[in-house]
Amino acid sequence: MRSAPTILHLDMDAFYASVEQASKPSLRGKAVIVGGLGPRGVVATASYEARVLGVHSAMPMSQARRLAPNAAYLVPRFALYRSISDQVMALLRALSPLVEPLSLDEAFVDLEAGGTAWDERSARLVGAKLRADIRAVTGLTGSVGLAASKMLAKIASEQAKPDGLVVIEPGTERAMLEPMPVRTLPGVGPATGDHLRRAGIHTVGEIAEAGEDELVRLLGKAHGHALYAMALARDDRPVVAERETKSVSVEDTYDVDIHDRVRVGTEVARLADRCVRRLRGAGLSGRTIVLKVRRYDFSTLTRSETLRGPTDDPAVVREAAARLLDSVDTTGGVRLLGVGVSGLADYTQEDLFAQAAGSAGEEAAGEGEEPEPASEARPEVSAERRWPAGCDVRHAEYGHGWVQGSGLGRVTVRFETPVSAPGRVKTFRVDDPALEVAEPLPLVEGVR
């Protein structure tokens, strides 16, 4: 562990929900819940106003609706979240070459490696400026923790929430950790926490007092050693700039179990095409095709097939996924399907043949994303489902707005923009030709 608090942990505050509040003036200061809106949906993020009502991420959406019946329930807009995340990550990379993203809204930064901080004072100044820059560029808030290790920096950012900055000065770590509950430490989930509680261990200080041998006896060798080290504030893990992608996958959970075998096959083909688009977007290919099936009784099956060489051909992936599906019994119904590709490479077998023929450049010049085959399009859905709650729309007369809800052949839209006052509400037929899906607007005027 280093001698200055030069490892920074950034955690954007209630990221998805905060983006929605920033883009929708009428929702600011109100309970907002983002996630799957179907009967089996789960909460992705809840605003702080919803959290005080007991709603939290990973909670079943049905339970969230009981706790917060008057909240705004919105579907995620991942393309928008990714674009804002890219803006935030660019600010972090301006501070240091060592940035370790953990998700769209969370990352570690080694400030010492970037020469931007070397002691407590310089680190605090960098953290304060970062928070101001994030607000200026995105209109959002982030919480910053600074410490001498990754574990402590993450704990500090949790203490800083929401919209704060906490610095843990070297030499104070043990005293700070001792009164904290055991669940504060990374890797201590409900099961481990209960196990420790039954042994009379409730705080991080009591973990240290119990001793390494007792922890190994209680939790096993690997977990016991690691937990004892964390309780003593020992963490020498470096910030890793690039994490190697091991697989690319997509999956869908269905509101109603799928029993029709033809529909299951159609869904698998559609997922295979989505997976390949994501694969190509990352400039990758893969050798192993993986099919995931969760059946009506929650049993989950995975099947895989390894090809002779890496591919990013949608037809090849579709055919392999279809062969894997043939080995799975779906007669009782299917609630989730997924298709993935692993054994990744940054070339395809076809590329190798092209290079051998001296024509790799010609091959690359003709590449483009293939459209989905018409025969494998999704089954037709009702008109109401074309307007998911929260999506951006534009009306020929009223301008930009977002969908508050739809049903019974009608769609209700609130017309407002990120820089306007709360807007008025209008209801239209779902097939109104003046209403169309729109791209999200920038959260900050003049910043894209």
Q: Is the preceding omega at residue 162 within 30 degrees of 0, hence cis?
A: yes
Q: Do 141 and 269 meet the contact criterion of CB atoms below 8 Å apart?
A: no
Q: Which of 106, 112, 173, 416 is catalytic?
A: 106
DSSP-assigned letters across all residues of 29-93: TS-EEEE--STT-BEEEE-HHHHTTT--TT-BHHHHHHH-TTSEEE---HHHHHHHHHHHHHHHH
The helix (H) or strand (E) run that includes residue 125 is: helix 120-138
Q: Do 230 and 218 meet the contact criterion of CB atoms below 8 Å apart?
A: no
Closest to 104 measured CA to CA, from 138, 145, 151: 138
- The CA-to-CA distance between both ends of the chain, in Å, stands at 39
DSSP-assigned letters across all residues of 172-226: -HHHHHTTSBGGGSTT--HHHHHHHHHTT--BHHHHHHH-HHHHHHHH-HHHHHH
Distances from the Cα of 225 to the Cαs of 173, 188, 212, 215, 228, in angstroms? 19, 13, 6, 7, 5
- Whole-angstrom distance, CA of residue 216 vs CA of residue 207: 11
- Whole-angstrom distance, CA of residue 187 vs CA of residue 203: 15
Indicate if 305 belongs to the active site.
no
Which single residue is written with the structure tokens 């929702």?
Answer: 27
The identity of residue 393, as a single letter, is V
The helix (H) or strand (E) run that includes residue 414 is: strand 410-415
Closest to 14 measured CA to CA, from 67, 62, 50: 50
User: Catalytic residue positions?
Assistant: 106
